[in-house]
Chains A and B, each alone.
Chain A
Amino acid sequence: MIKIDNVSKMYRLGTIGSGTFKRDLNKWLRACFGKKPDPFAPPEDTNLKKSGGERYLWALRNISFEVKEGEVCGIIGRNGAGKSTLLKVLSRITRPTEGSIKGRGKISSLLEIGTGFHADLSGRENIYISGSMLGMKKAEIKKKFDEIVEFSGIEQFLDTPVKRYSSGMYVRLAFGVAAHLEPDILIVDEVLAVGDAEFQKKCMGKMKDVSQQKGRTILFVSHNLQAINNLCSRAIWLQKGTIHAIGDAQSVVNKYLGAFQKKLWKREWQNPHEAPGNEWLKILSVELIPHLDNPTEPIDIRTPLTVKFRFYNLNDHIHLSTNLVLFSLTGECIFDVPSTSGEFNKGVVEGECTIPGKFLNDGSYYFSLYFLKDASRSIFEYEECLHFDVEDYRENIHWYDKWVGAVRPHFPFTLRNYNVINNGVGVLKPHH
């Protein structure tokens, strides 16, 4: 059981040099000789501010929540939302700037697997080293030694230095040690995102086992929302160092997904001077319309999507066409769909394209629109006009790893029994 009470964490930005030395000296002198107010005291109000020539960042701000015994609590949020800082504060690696954390029970944190591993030493030695760093007693490790070895499947290599291990073996051994920790409170950072698919499944299974053991409290950070949904009873959504939402896992995850998707689903310009465009055309609006029954639900791989856009054509008698191009967030082109083309006069032109459901893979994507004259010359490129995420959806599939592939289409694909019958002429016939 843990109670987090008004925890804040501030980091000083910038490099450490003569400036910080002067500050340290000043602080020290003031502590010794007088009690004048600290001119270098951090600012109270804003998230990021310059004060006395220094910049500060509140990585966490007034975080309060409680995790009950036996609860599995997931923490989600964008990069830089303070998730890792929170875990570090909870696991005593760094002190909070303000507030306190109270708890009951032995706490172990798993922020990295293979903590303390020494490359030159054997697997056997490293099991003991990593185990004792994670807070296990020698006797405990001894008791679990065979289990750990079996879990990681490295019997043959126990006495080989771990630097000669394949990366898979290394990860398996490291996780094997971690998985056999038995604290009352376990703090886990995104450590499951390693190893091959089979091993990830094993890890998730182990996590599930651990979480179902009685009285075990777990705090779990992950980007894998599927895993959060699966393992956690409650979730916390951190944003810019504060709690944005807290509650049961499913609803927080849905809120989280919803919030980020809506933001760039629609763009509209009232004032043509501010609108993107050039002497050929001005964009009026772009919109992504998902075909959802319930508008609060996130887009998942089943959702058909319609892209609608309008622009003002500034020239008469012009032959125009448009390409709608989808990119993954990493910049790989998924597809490039050309529109019909035609002759247009001055005025508003509207385009619409629908991408069927069960076609895109899960992931983050953006659209770009390319406008062409005479089907050959590019006259305007509107890059990254819409951003959206496609969530995963799986039914009856016990596979938690990322589904590979640029797209994930649902082609008809069947398996059936096939009986070979020799009818005398050497023809094979399917049996019905």
Chain B
Amino acid sequence: MVEEKLRWQWEINKKTSWLGVSLKELYHYKDLLFRLVRKEFLSSYQQTLLGPFWVLLQPILTVLTSILIFHRVIGVSTQGIPPLLYYLAGICLWNLFSDIFLNTSVTFTQNVQVFNKVYFPRIIVPLSVVLLSALRFVIQLLLFFIASAYYYFAMDVAIPLNTYILAIPVIITVAGIGLGSGMLFSILTAKYRDFMGLTQIILRLLMFICPIFYPMSIVPGKLQWIIHLNPLSIQFELFRFSLLGKGQFTPDQVAYSIAATLVLVIGGLLWFNKTADRLIDVI
């Protein structure tokens, strides 16, 4: 029996594992992972005039529109923070989530061609999405820091530097929510195309019930629970607290958000591993 086991290095059968491939095997594919990130990054700016500048241009344009609509027209409070910084922080973080969520949710539907012809651990694709979105996020965050430096030195706006470190767990949590729910939706959309339309609607819904363009404090007390249902919400308050010093949160709200993230990430990962290798028959 021992000899028999030693003779074979691998085995394929009908069983798929909840845990997926081993880290060792995953490491073996690291070149592919970085190659996919590079491919996506390069291909999204082919035949454009501004190329990678779109990474910066997109949040700038969104911020300008939000200043116009939310600040000037509707007159939503930004809690005394310069609106540019206020909206930029929210938009950077939201982009991170929506990038990861949307691009992960099409893992199977967009890659059928490739998945039908070649094997590699499918989890590589969501991971490459996370890496690329993180890269874009870092660039956008630099823009935010440049803007806050300007306000800090030129406009004398008080910016708390000692809470910056808090932003790191927030970023990880938001990326985790995006990845976990994206993986769940990637399986659902692969099986039932109905979910494709649903991802857009869910994304928009999440955006509205999330304090990106408005502070939590202006939401009427009776309705706050709806906003808090969204595990992303508290992260936006925390993010603004860490970078701009204004935010409203309680420990149990943070605990709920983290618990939801863990459920999504672990659930998404397990289900993804279990189903990924079988889905090709139904896509």
Would you call A109 and B119 a contact (CB within 8 A)?
A: yes
- One of A11, A90, A101, A128 near B13 (C-beta < 8 A): A101
Would you call A96 and B120 a contact (CB within 8 A)?
A: no
Q: How many residues of B contact A (CB 8 A)?
A: 34
Q: Can you list 21 A-B contacts (CB < 8 A)? A: A20-B191, A90-B12, A91-B119, A92-B277, A93-B116, A93-B280, A94-B278, A95-B16, A97-B14, A103-B11, A104-B8, A104-B9, A107-B10, A109-B118, A115-B114, A115-B117, A115-B118, A121-B46, A125-B39, A133-B35, A138-B34
Which residues of A209-238 have CB atoms within 8 Å of chain B's CB atoms?
none
Would you call B13 and A96 a contact (CB within 8 A)?
A: yes
Q: What are the residues of chain A within 8 A of B118 when measuring CB–CB?
A: 91, 93, 109, 111, 115-116, 133-134
B47 at the interface (CB under 8 A from A): yes
Report how far A137 CA is from B35 CA in the complex, Å.
Answer: 10
Output the nearest chain B residue to A101 by Cβ-Cβ distance: B12
Report how far A121 CA is from B34 CA in the complex, Å.
Answer: 16
Would you call B12 and A89 a contact (CB within 8 A)?
A: yes
Report how far A12 CA is from B32 CA in the complex, Å.
Answer: 33
A99 at the interface (CB under 8 A from B): yes
Would you call A95 and B9 a contact (CB within 8 A)?
A: no
Would you call A95 and B117 a contact (CB within 8 A)?
A: no
Report how far A95 CA is from B115 CA in the complex, Å.
Answer: 13
Report A125-137 CB contacts with B as 1/0, cut-off 8 Å. Answer: 1001100111111
Report how far A118 CA is from B111 CA in the complex, Å.
Answer: 12
B→A interface (CB under 8 Å): 7-14, 16, 31-32, 34-36, 38-39, 42-43, 46-47, 114-120, 191-192, 277-278, 280-282
Q: What are the residues of chain A within 8 A of B8 when measuring CB–CB?
A: 3, 102-104
Would you call A120 and B9 a contact (CB within 8 A)?
A: no
- One of B10, B14, B32 near A96 (C-beta < 8 A): B14
A100 at the interface (CB under 8 A from B): yes
Would you call A16 and B46 a contact (CB within 8 A)?
A: no
Q: What are the residues of chain B within 8 A of A153 when measuring CB–CB?
A: none
Given A21-B192, A125-B42, the answer on whether A135 and B12 have CB atoms closer than 8 Å is no
Report how far A112 CA is from B113 CA in the complex, Å.
Answer: 10
Report A374-389 CB contacts with B as 1/0, cut-off 8 Å. Answer: 0000000000000000
Report how far A109 CA is from B115 CA in the complex, Å.
Answer: 12
* Min C-beta distance of B29 to chain A, whole Å: 8
Q: What are the residues of chain B within 8 A of A120 when measuring CB–CB?
A: 43, 46-47
Output the nearest chain A residue to B119 by Cβ-Cβ distance: A92
Given A125-B39, A129-B35, A138-B35, the answer on whether A104 and B7 have CB atoms closer than 8 Å is yes
A→B interface (CB under 8 Å): 3, 11-12, 16, 20-21, 24, 88-105, 107, 109, 111-112, 115-116, 118, 120-121, 125, 128-129, 132-138, 161
Would you call B39 and A112 a contact (CB within 8 A)?
A: no
Would you call A111 and B192 a contact (CB within 8 A)?
A: no
* Min C-beta distance of A139 to chain B, whole Å: 8
Q: What are the residues of chain A within 8 A of B7 when measuring CB–CB?
A: 104
Apart from A116-B114, A125-B38: 6 A-B pairs, beta carbons within 8 A: A90-B12, A93-B280, A103-B10, A104-B10, A128-B35, A132-B32
Report how far A11 CA is from B281 CA in the complex, Å.
Answer: 8
Which 5 residue pairs spanning A and B have beta carbons closest together? A120-B46, A92-B119, A100-B13, A102-B8, A138-B31
Output the nearest chain A residue to B35 by Cβ-Cβ distance: A132
Q: What are the residues of chain B within 8 A of A136 when measuring CB–CB?
A: 31
Would you call A105 and B9 a contact (CB within 8 A)?
A: yes
Would you call B11 and A102 a contact (CB within 8 A)?
A: yes
* Min C-beta distance of B185 to chain A, whole Å: 16
Output the nearest chain A residue to B115 by Cβ-Cβ distance: A93
Report how far A112 CA is from B38 CA in the complex, Å.
Answer: 23
Q: What are the residues of chain A within 8 A of B38 when measuring CB–CB?
A: 125
* Min C-beta distance of B45 to chain A, whole Å: 9
* Min C-beta distance of B236 to chain A, whole Å: 35
Report how far A97 CA is from B32 CA in the complex, Å.
Answer: 29
- One of A93, A98, A132 near B119 (C-beta < 8 A): A93
Q: What are the residues of chain B within 8 A of A118 when measuring CB–CB?
A: 39, 43
Q: What are the residues of chain B within 8 A of A161 when measuring CB–CB?
A: 46
* Min C-beta distance of A120 to chain B, whole Å: 4
Report how far A135 CA is from B10 CA in the complex, Å.
Answer: 16
* Min C-beta distance of A365 to chain B, whole Å: 34
Report how far A120 CA is from B43 CA in the complex, Å.
Answer: 6
Report how far A132 CA is from B42 CA in the complex, Å.
Answer: 16
Report how far A60 CA is from B10 CA in the complex, Å.
Answer: 21
Report how far A24 CA is from B279 CA in the complex, Å.
Answer: 13
Report how far A134 CA is from B192 CA in the complex, Å.
Answer: 29
* Min C-beta distance of A375 to chain B, whole Å: 57
Q: What are the residues of chain B within 8 A of A138 when measuring CB–CB?
A: 31, 34-35
Q: What are the residues of chain B within 8 A of A98 when measuring CB–CB?
A: 14
Would you call B35 and A95 a contact (CB within 8 A)?
A: no
Report how far A112 CA is from B191 CA in the complex, Å.
Answer: 25
* Min C-beta distance of A422 to chain B, whole Å: 66
Report how far A102 CA is from B191 CA in the complex, Å.
Answer: 30
The residue in B8, B39, B118, B277 that gathers the most chain A C-beta atoms within 10 A of its C-beta is B118
Report how far A378 CA is from B47 CA in the complex, Å.
Answer: 64
Q: What are the residues of chain B within 8 A of A21 when measuring CB–CB?
A: 192
The residue in A98, A105, A116 that gathers the most chain B C-beta atoms within 10 A of its C-beta is A116
Q: What are the residues of chain A within 8 A of B119 when measuring CB–CB?
A: 91-93, 109
Given A16-B192, A138-B31, the answer on whether A121 and B43 have CB atoms closer than 8 Å is yes
Output the nearest chain A residue to B5 by Cβ-Cβ distance: A102
